[in-house]
Copies of this chain bind each other. A is one copy, B any other.
């Protein structure tokens, strides 16, 4: 632990994060930098309590509703753990398959699941524009239901990944970096490579890299984005990254090779994603119900991917980084590991092996990131509540 509990509370008390109470967490860019700092402090405080066997449970009963419109194991378990830690019962709304639903259906379902619900977690990342639109509709629906007196209180929303952002992942990533570098302030000036990598599968979401380039420059990190030609991210995300960097006095640059991005990097985060333009096309085909078109596009994309098999993390590449093989290597997992999970993938087995423990630790922060979001959205006075929880000292795991 970088800081002890009371230091965390002091730090927290210094931020202005009053806007988070009763709000949603859909994108990191909806939040002020102070609000994000508060998030990291609360996550650390909750972890601190739990590791001292003090229960941070604030709900005696209550429901957390999850809605996964794409498969998930890691995020599902993280949400389950976070909600359980705070005392909520998870209830999954299984819609069977991803679909782009609108209007009446969304409003009605959102309201029906919200009676007695305290938080709703949604993953909807498969179609460009669809995930954000869906979450906005759910948010508006519960607003309306609350205003109309249908709900006695409004459940708050948490994005468990949309097509544009993956805030619980990037928050976990930042918590990991804070721990590794001994504090948020120490991240300033660190050089990060966010790069594309080859994968034999297709259609991986853009929200992971977008989430990173939208977040890291806000804390003064120098980000280099690398991808082959044609693998652009959403334009407004790249612009935002540039603007954040300018504001923080750090750099954001784009290069065309992994080599350039890895050169002198303190942290490397190589991962595959699909080209934005192709994903837009796919969304249109899906909306039109054009299954043949989707299959044809998939074939084309796999062929396009295959021309970039050299985008794979090797020890040679790692040697170019600031600390060689010791440089921090991150991945949200699961990774496509060459010779392990596929023939050619995002990363060589030896590189993965050397960095496995780090990536596992990175993942361990996700439940705390989610718990902190819920805590800040459901507690009017988080500092006082955390203090009270510590004073109360209820064993999480009772042993005589």
Report A's interface with B, CB cutoff 8 A: 50-51, 55, 57-63, 65, 73-74, 77-78, 80-81, 84-87, 89-91, 93, 103-105, 108-109, 111-113, 115-118, 145, 148-152, 333-334, 337, 340-341, 357, 360-361, 363-364, 366-367, 378-381, 384-385, 387-389, 394-400
Is the pair A60, B61 in contact by a Cβ cutoff of 8 Å? no
- Copies of this polypeptide in the complex: 3
* 11 other A-B residue contacts (CB within 8 Å) besides A55-B61, A60-B398, A103-B340: A58-B398, A74-B112, A77-B112, A104-B337, A111-B360, A115-B363, A115-B364, A150-B361, A378-B397, A385-B400, A389-B400
For residue A59, which residue of chain B has the nearest CB?
A: B397
Chain B proximity of A143: nearest CB distance (Å)? 13
Q: Which residues of B contact A366 (CB under 8 A)?
A: 115
Is the pair A149, B396 in contact by a Cβ cutoff of 8 Å? no
Is the pair B364, A151 in contact by a Cβ cutoff of 8 Å? yes
Given A396-B62, A397-B62, A400-B385, A93 and B112 touching (CB < 8 A)?
A: no
Interface majority SS on A: helix, strand, loop or mixed? mixed
Of B80, B105, B364, which contacts A341 at CB under 8 A?
B105
Q: Which residues of B contact A388 (CB under 8 A)?
A: 398, 400
Chain B proximity of A225: nearest CB distance (Å)? 27
Bound complex: CA A319 to CA B385 (Å): 54
Chain B proximity of A371: nearest CB distance (Å)? 10
Of B60, B84, B367, B378, which contacts A394 at CB under 8 A?
B60
Is the pair B145, A396 in contact by a Cβ cutoff of 8 Å? no
Chain B proximity of A357: nearest CB distance (Å)? 5
Q: Which residues of B contact A65 (CB under 8 A)?
A: 77
Is the pair B115, A81 in contact by a Cβ cutoff of 8 Å? yes
Is the pair A51, B150 in contact by a Cβ cutoff of 8 Å? no
Bound complex: CA A89 to CA B385 (Å): 24
Q: Which residues of B contact A340 (CB under 8 A)?
A: 103-104
7 A-B pairs with CB atoms under 8 Å apart are A50-B116, A58-B399, A59-B396, A77-B115, A115-B366, A378-B397, A388-B398
Bound complex: CA A87 to CA B151 (Å): 21
Is the pair B80, A89 in contact by a Cβ cutoff of 8 Å? yes
